[in-house]
Structure 1
């Protein structure tokens, strides 16, 4: 049974409306529509329009530009999770003959393949895709801009390659795979490759006068996986929640968490932003946001979700430039998260406990540094420093009795219990680090040994 929608407080709703009203007015957008989803439910939508009585709603389509890339990335991660490819595979293994087949799938997803930012002229966003019928037409003669894997360099042609990769592995068009594997399972019925009424028209607003010019709406052809889609506030809020929580029908929570993990170092001076696997990541107002921004002639879009707060926001405008939809969407998340912070779930005891696991809890020592180990759900454990700036991590239980680190310094590292011949616990081994019950415990296999005279005071 679906939980009832918990409405936002009137003061919060007014703050949200004020934010988009300022964005539409100062950004001089013909129309602006936004929405907020909290804990998987659409709790607020609002719009402003230059035409009285014709404001868009959460069901009105806008073109979303590069947010399309996140959908394409999900399709690629699905192929990986099914074992049909590895992210470290060279592109050539699955899509031969591109001329850039040495780059890996992961590098394409994270924009570190060194490829050019744009396709050769004329500008692909304002011309029909029929001008670029082959991948060679998209890549051009100078597709390499940087050494492979060394830096982040945003590449629209890179996502054209990923769309073609999906088609090659699935044996179906990118559009058909997208509809079957993402749009239908997530009930994104108002997301499509072509506009469906009601939809907004795209406009350019003169920089020095309050007059407008209609923008063309082109079918991007092979470039579609980089920016073709049309969608709505309601659909995109639902998709943003998926990026936080996952959905086993499409992609697991672990895989979407992987998408939200930075894949390459940020540019110098941009330590507050990074790029994962088809997902932009920013630090703003003390919280981590994941999502994507998008633009095509006549349209701007922004989508962000704070997984920690359980809040997602989307902002859409039908203007080539002006309103900063990405900034607005981030502000909407902040307004809700700060005005109405997430209420924690009630504490509940574990349904059952393994006594051998319970005996592992409490203080442990790496040398003279103290740590505390506690049990989590599903036999997981957490090891955190008790004093100072030691390295802590959460660990997930494995079938062989070990644990694998989920985050921090020990992400991917193995934690195991080492027992003596009589079955008692000797120590914990974590990536060659020995944790003992006492600081430098005598008799424990501490690397380098323990001085036989033990601890002592200052000798005079």
Structure 2
């Protein structure tokens, strides 16, 4: 029974989350199911809640057991007095904060492909540290309307008790604005600047998508290539992999899970979970793995898929991931501070990072899955990157960006290669975010609006709401 309520897998690494302010169709489905859960919960109808579950859930938990847990552990909490959506992660996992007479809990809800409950998990509600009483230092001079709008949004984030530093980059109608708040390390009284490095987490996936598009244009690979074409014979022999293509790895429709099934077995450091997972472990998993559903039909965010794509591109190019990023993207754009591994010259500019509890935590080594989240960068470099994505030219890199922006999937979630396309105030934005144990990042842009928003934080607290709020205030 304890397994039912334990925290979901190993934490949700490198999150893709859509803010409540920019709802997806899938989130609306989750909310509709949650509304029924709350109704049945308050009516103490365990069987009705169980009827909302899918086949896999019911295989793991019988109705008798579910009723016992509901009657003896859940319903005694009293009715749900209040509820609110905390997060919507990977376009499938909703977390709600529930208030009972006995206290508060979080409820995690995920639906399967038939819109039936796949996860129904309760866990303790984490209380955030009290908000900071004094205004956090900032470089924002509050001279213009834009300055004031940015400050209003930023204060909602940086004044929280579990945030430390924040760098914001705005590219608006060709003009760059940079705002910094807080500290590079808690208590050091040193404000971040545009050249401080942060982990950008899953924004890395957009770089991987650009590399894929670049090599497609060069004729080295095809989006429709089956992944088995690039895997060792012993792995390619797995017939379950034969219908997965490169484009599916990039747009999260491969059917591969978020992380390999053997990931926990080879993750020995709880503070650096990816570092021990290597190519041998990856291929060992792929030899026998079976996709969740038919490849190409359903969106399911996967760090495994994009990490595997990076490994395939390394084989196709004969170059390590970091070298591809450097030669194809960073050098042409003069992005000198975007790296996978910190050089001695860059280390002093790397911020100290903090987990959700406000404790310092190390940066991550992504090993074989580097392409899903390993890059570190600065606001200056990310402004260059966003600008290059918004301003086409005749270069090979620009042509790769153009291909990466083309829609490849549009069922519930709209994607190009790597890029998610979200709607904010009826306007489409190319978007990605990132998160590790000690960082959170946000990048969104719209070429027609000539607006790009970049947010980098050295805290695990999500910057999604801040990023969306900035878009709303500035578009």
1:243 has 2:365 as partner: no
User: Does the CA contact (< 8 Å) of 1:21 and 1:48 recur in 2?
Assistant: no
Per-residue CA shift, 1:263-317, capped at 9, x if unaligned?
22343xxxxx522211111001121110210011111100011111111111111
User: Does the CA contact (< 8 Å) of 2:388 and 2:398 recur in 1?
Assistant: no
Among 37, 48, 57, the residue aligned to 2:171: 37
Q: How does 1:188-227 map to 2 (within 5 A)?
A: 188-195=335-342, 196=346, 197-206=348-357, 212-227=358-373
User: Does the CA contact (< 8 Å) of 1:264 and 1:276 recur in 2?
Assistant: yes
User: Does the CA contact (< 8 Å) of 2:389 and 2:398 recur in 1?
Assistant: no
Q: Distance in 1 between matches of 2:437 and 2:284?
A: 21
Quick one: structure 1 residues 326 and 237, their matched pair in 2 at CA, closer, same or farther if it must change by over 3 Å? farther
Q: How does 1:373-392 map to 2 (within 5 A)?
A: none
1:275 has 2:415 as partner: yes
In the superposition, the TM-score normalised over structure 2's length comes to 0.62
Q: Which residue of 1 aligns with 2:263?
A: 121
Q: How does 1:32-431 map to 2 (within 5 A)?
A: 32-49=166-183, 51=187, 53-97=189-233, 98-99=235-236, 100-119=241-260, 120-122=262-264, 126-134=272-280, 135-137=282-284, 139=286, 141-195=288-342, 196=346, 197-206=348-357, 212-252=358-398, 255-267=400-412, 273-320=413-460, 322=461, 324-337=462-475
Quick one: structure 1 residues 89 and 205, their matched pair in 2 at CA, closer, same or farther if it must change by over 3 Å? closer
Larger Rg: 1
Q: Distance in 2 between matches of 1:313 and 1:214?
A: 27
Runs (5+) with no aligned partner, structure 2: 1-140
User: Does the CA contact (< 8 Å) of 1:313 and 1:333 recur in 2?
Assistant: yes
Q: Distance in 1 between matches of 2:251 and 2:274?
A: 27
More helix by share: 2
Q: Which residue of 2 aligns with 1:11?
A: 145
Q: Distance in 2 between matches of 1:21 and 1:118?
A: 35
**TM-fit CA distance, 1:177:** 1.3
Runs (5+) with no aligned partner, structure 1: 1-6, 207-211, 268-272, 338-460
Aligned-CA RMSD value: 2.5
Q: Which residue of 1 aligns with 2:13?
A: none
Count of aligned pairs between the two proteins: 318
- Structure 1 residue matching 2:257: 3-state secondary structure: coil
**TM-fit CA distance, 1:121:** 3.0
Identify which of structures 1 and 2 has the higher relative contact order when contacts are C-alpha pairs closer than 8 Å and 6+ apart.
2
Q: Distance in 2 between matches of 1:257 and 1:315?
A: 23
User: Does the CA contact (< 8 Å) of 2:335 and 2:381 recur in 1?
Assistant: yes
Q: Distance in 2 between matches of 1:246 and 1:27?
A: 41
User: Does the CA contact (< 8 Å) of 2:329 and 2:397 recur in 1?
Assistant: no
In the superposition, the TM-score normalised over structure 1's length comes to 0.64
